[in-house]
Structure 1
Amino acid sequence: MRKISSAILCLSPLMVNANPIDVSLTDCSGLESFHPIDSKVYIQCLDSNIDMLRRYQQSWINKLLHDIEIIQEQTGNTQLMPIIKRAVVYQEQYMEDTCKWRYLYTLPNSIKASIVHKKCTVRMLTRHIEDLQMPY
């Protein structure tokens, strides 16, 4: 019984289901435009959402790394941290490449390509945050 309760105590940070906090993204849909002058405000709105999502994503990554550090100290399992750090790097590369090919596909219309890239980035960041919020 003692072994079971100590195992539960060690794994309790991993079992906590963090309540997802909604990020208040600006609704940019009313600003959507592909006209060179009007698109500037729309692109700035998308950039603002991307910045907010990146900060939120980083807070979830930091939480995950902190939880894993605690588990590592308690159990001595040093295999988790390198794998998680590698997964974060690969996820970032995947998101970058996924949105980059969409940008290149939409060229030579650079305004439309930029908007496609930014929408893709918002979508990919949102999905990654949802994955980070999943219980371990």
Structure 2
Amino acid sequence: MKKISSAAFFLSPLIANANPTDVSLTDCSALESYHPIDSKIYIQCLDSNIDMLRRYQQSWINKLLHDIEILQAQTGNTQLMPIIKRAVVYQEQYMEDTCKWRYLHTLPNSIKASIVHKKCTVRMLRRHIEDLQIPY
């Protein structure tokens, strides 16, 4: 994970009751192509969905960290925060490695490999967001 920021937790009340379906992703399926020229638009569409999901994921992480900060202040339990931060970092590494091996498996077709990697990233981000939304 690039950065765990607590500054953006102000957005968390807006998404406190959100569902994973609340993210408005572009339907890229009509653009799907493995042709070198036509695939560029499809890959850009997948990239925009990944960016959107990463922002949404970060807002849920920020909400979780904010909630744990409040709990920590109320109870004095300081064990949760380091574990949660470590879990977020490990989750990011897991997603990267999971999609990377799929990319490498699909080589030498770099266009198809890139698309497989991006589709995997979208799937993994969705799953992680769903996990972050489960009440604790």
Tell me the TM-score normalised to structure 1 length.
0.86
Which residue of structure 1 aligns with residue 107 of structure 2? Answer: 107
Matched, 1:73 2:84: no
- Greater than 2 Å deviation, 4+ residue runs: none
Distance between the aligned counterparts of 1:102 and 1:84, measured in 2?
A: 27
Deviation at 1:93, TM superposition (A): 0.1
Distance between the aligned counterparts of 2:62 and 2:29, measured in 1?
A: 31
Deviation at 1:19, TM superposition (A): 1.8
Q: How many residues align?
A: 119
Tell me the TM-score normalised to structure 2 length.
0.86
Distance between the aligned counterparts of 1:49 and 1:77, measured in 2?
A: 37
Which has the greater radius of gyration? 1
Q: Per-residue CA shift, 1:40-88, capped at 9, x if unaligned?
A: 0000000000000000000000000000000000000000000000000
Q: Per-residue CA shift, 1:15-61, capped at 9, x if unaligned?
A: xxx42240000000000000000000000000000000000000000
Which residue of structure 2 aligns with residue 43 of structure 1? Answer: 43
Distance between the aligned counterparts of 1:117 and 1:125, measured in 2?
A: 12
Matched, 1:86 2:86: yes
